[in-house]
Amino acid sequence: MSTRHSITGLTEVLKWAENKGYSRLALLEDTQINEERLSDVKATLLPCEELCFYRNLLNISGDPHILLEAGFNLNIATYGIYGLALISSPTFEKAIALGLQFIDFTYTYNRVVFFEDARHAGIQITQINDLGVLQRPMIERDVSAVFVLIQLLLPEEQAVEEICFAWERDQDRPLQYFEDLYQCPVHFNSAVTEVRFAKSYLQHELPQHNVLAMELCREQLEHIRPQLIVEEGVLERVQQYLLKTPLYRASMEDCAKSLSMSSRTLRRQLSEAGMSYQLALDEFRRLLADKYLNDTQMTLAKVAERLGYSDAANFSHAYKRWTGLAPRKDKA
């Protein structure tokens, strides 16, 4: 089971990325997101669509920290009723409790929890899904999104005291880069990724609090939440694995491991769904092949490479087996 997210967050990040000079077409490649959906403020996204967009952004930019910067675009307005509920809460602590109760309305794919110790309180962000190459970047994005929400809820304060990341700092970026972004000390190689603030802020009264508005928003969130749930079968989970994995190494064994099951269990579940892993992989490759052949200027050799084939001839044989036709002639 997973959750659909509002398209609003993606559209804000998309606009920001375009302003940085990245191609809209390239950012949306393979996402199945069209212009009609982008212009519909009520539209939602499947996890595979949203994650494909962020993987494109990561690949196109060549910047391992691009999602950390993208997270600053997830401001209070991108959350709709959820954002209004937060700013209407009577205190910062109540806003945190409500925010975590309705975490489905954020854009996270990670585990987000509140903590407090003798001196600090804060938000911990840890892995809950296997996001492949997006794992660390998506946690970085969430750290930035949490930072932005805290600063918006407490606009008169520099509320965030420090940020801790649970990995070593990449040598391509100095520590000052991170501390300039967050305007607070940033630590690496910590036990867990955390956004920390003083416990005294928990009782801070929010400037726009309105208990009636908060309760009305809560009722709306309770009503809407069931519509966001996506019941995922084994085929959908396999497809999500294929979307985030280079196809030349998309083996059934690795797929089963990413789904936290044995190869035998995966084979059985696919069989019960009237499918095999090879058939699922071939269907996924066929759909991608049609898209690449019809919508891009890729050569057959490049299409073959993207689909995990050793050369154009092997791809052509596979395509003819799927469709009964040869792929279109290679382009000069």
Q: Does a structural domain hold residue 148?
A: yes
Q: Does a structural domain hold residue 221?
A: yes
Residues 77 and 148 in one domain: yes
Q: What are phi and psi of 330, to 5 degrees?
A: -60, 145
- Alpha-carbon distance 105 to 61, whole Å? 27
Residues 198 and 243 in one domain: no
For residue 278, the domain's CATH number is: 1.10.10.60
Q: Does a structural domain hold residue 288?
A: yes
CA–CA distance from 204 to each of 7, 103, 197, 200, 266 (Å)?
A: 32, 22, 12, 7, 50
Residues 59 and 191 in one domain: yes
pLDDT (tens, 9 = 90+) of the chain, 332 residues, equals: 578 899 999 999 999 999 999 999 999 998 889 999 999 999 999 888 899 999 999 999 999 999 999 999 999 999 999 999 999 999 999 999 999 999 999 999 999 999 998 888 999 999 887 788 899 999 999 999 999 999 999 987 789 999 999 999 988 899 999 999 999 999 999 999 999 999 999 999 999 999 999 999 999 999 999 888 776 678 888 988 888 888 888 999 999 998 888 999 999 888 877 688 988 898 888 888 887 887 778 889 988 888 889 899 999 988 888 877 888 754 43
Local structure of residue 206 (DSSP, 8 states): P
Q: Does a structural domain hold residue 166?
A: yes
What lies within 8 Å, CB to CB, of 129 at 6+ separation is 109, 110
- Helical (H) or strand (E) element with 226: none
For the chain, the domain total comes to: 2
User: Roughly how many angstroms between the first and final C-alpha of the chain, as a whole number?
Assistant: 46
Residues 102 and 131 in one domain: yes
Spatial contact of 190 and 166, defined as CB atoms under 8 Å apart: yes
Residues 158 and 238 in one domain: no
Q: Does a structural domain hold residue 154?
A: yes
- Alpha-carbon distance 7 to 293, whole Å? 28
CB atoms within 10 A of CB 1: 6
Q: Does a structural domain hold residue 330?
A: no
Structural domain containing residue 239: 234-323
Residues 154 and 270 in one domain: no
- At 7 the three-state DSSP class reads coil
Residue at a domain's end among 173, 195, 228: 228
